[in-house]
Every structure is written in structure tokens, then in C-alpha cells.
Amino acid sequence: MTEVSSLTGRLLVATPALADPNFDRAVVLLLDHDEEGSLGVVLNRPTPVGVGDVLTSWADLTGEPDVVFQGGPVSLDSALGVGVIPGDEDPSPSSRPRSHRSDPVGFRRVHGAIGLVDLEAPPELLAAALGSLRIFAGYAGWGPGQLEAELKEGAWYVVESEPGDVSSPRPENLWRAVLRRQRSELAMVATYPDDPSLN
């Protein structure tokens, strides 16, 4: 088996050609990607359900909009917390890599400042450190080689994530915003009409 280059921490941005309605104009943050498959959450699918309605103890730590997001079509009855802890996200080569022991209990760093929040942990253990938190119902998952096949078919653009993507206050604009900030022809894709037949 060929080694899979990890895309953990990167964004998958749906191309206009992607036909799956679960991922129309989706921006997916990859939380795990290796030869065993991939797992991520869709960052731009807010639901009408308030965080306080389902996870009262975490409601004060979520930003606007303070709703649960649909992370993907898999396991919609489970919740995932994704947070950002600001600080030494990308140490220079001359400095020591950041130790995971410095992270608060209940936080597992995934990429840079972004990590998974253990929703079973007491929120007060993380409250002082968390810069932002978003709660997702469900996730997006791919089996071994499945995502690579979709990438070859041109279903996704792969771009760098920024910590602010996790907590974008205007998730409905995230697809265009992520494309617009690219320094390539991808920036032009941001102008693609919602309905090409109206052009």
C-alpha cells in the first residue's frame, strides 16, 4: 500500500461540480487523515438547535452563532467539540515543539491551534484556555482510499485552514471566503453563482 500524505488540519472545499447534496458548497476541516481513512467536520452547516438546548454546560463557551452545526452525514446523534487554543501554534525551528502536556485536560491538539474538546470533561477545565468552541452533530467520514479517489475526480479543493475558520461568525459565507483568500485561480471560483443556470 502506498503511504498516504496526511491532510490532517487542512480544509476540503467542495468544488462547484460536487453533486452530493450533503457536501454542496461544504467546507470540511479534516481532523484525521491516514491510510485507514479520513474524518472531518463540515464547518458551514449551522442547525436551528441551540447549544444550550443539548449541552447546557458548554453553551457559554460557544461563539456566535451559538447553535449546533451538522458536522456531516455520519452519526448525527453524536456530538464533537472542536476548539481553538490560541498561542504558540507554529513554533519556529529553533524553538522546541509545543508539548501536549501544556494543553489543558480535555483538549487534544489536532493541528496548530485547533483541537478536539472532550465534551465529557468539565467545561471549567478548558474555559480559561479556549479561544473558541464549536459543537458538531455528526461528522464526515471516508474509508481507506475513498477521499483520495474523490480528490482525483476533482470533487474537492484542498487548502490550508486558519484557526478562525472553526468559529466563523458568518458560516454561510465561509465557502466563498476561504476560496477568495487563495492566491491562485481558486480565488476566481468564489464568484461561481449559486445557480449557474441563472447566468
Kindly state the helix (H) or strand (E) to which residue 52 belongs, with its residue range: helix 51-54
What is the pLDDT at residue 41? 97
Cβ contacts of 96 within 8 Å, gap of 6 or more = none
pLDDT tens string 40-52: 999 999 999 999 9
Per-position b or e across 162-193, b if 16+ CB within 10 A of its CB: bbebbbbeebeebbbbbbeebeeebeebbeee
What is the pLDDT at residue 102? 77
What is the pLDDT at residue 195? 55
Phi then psi for 71, rounded to 5 degrees?
-75, -15
What is the pLDDT at residue 194? 61
* Average predicted confidence (pLDDT) for the chain: 87
Categorize the per-residue pLDDT at 92 as very low, low, confident or very high, splitting at 50, 70 and 90: very low
User: How far, CA to CA in Å, does 130 sit from each of 11, 68, 82?
Assistant: 21, 17, 10
Residue tagged 500500500 (cell numbers) = 1
Residue tagged 448525527 (cell numbers) = 76
CA distance 41 to 22: 12
Span 94-102, mean pLDDT? 46
What is the pLDDT at residue 88? 52
Categorize the per-residue pLDDT at 3 as very low, low, confident or very high, splitting at 50, 70 and 90: very low
pLDDT at 198 over 50: no
What is the pLDDT at residue 185? 83
Residue 129 burial by Cβ neighbours in a 10 Å radius (0-12, 13-18, 19+): middle
pLDDT tens string 122-176: 999 999 999 999 999 999 999 999 999 999 999 999 999 998 999 999 999 999 9
What is the pLDDT at residue 192? 73
Categorize the per-residue pLDDT at 78 as very low, low, confident or very high, splitting at 50, 70 and 90: very high
pLDDT at 10 over 60: yes
How long is the chain? 199
The most confident of 3-17, 56-70, 77-91, by mean pLDDT: 56-70
User: What percent of the chain lies above the pLDDT cut of 70?
Assistant: 87
Residue 36 burial by Cβ neighbours in a 10 Å radius (0-12, 13-18, 19+): exposed
What is the pLDDT at residue 184? 82
Which three cell numbers, joined as nine digits, stand for 11?
A: 480544509
Q: Are 30 and 151 in contact (CB under 8 A)?
A: no
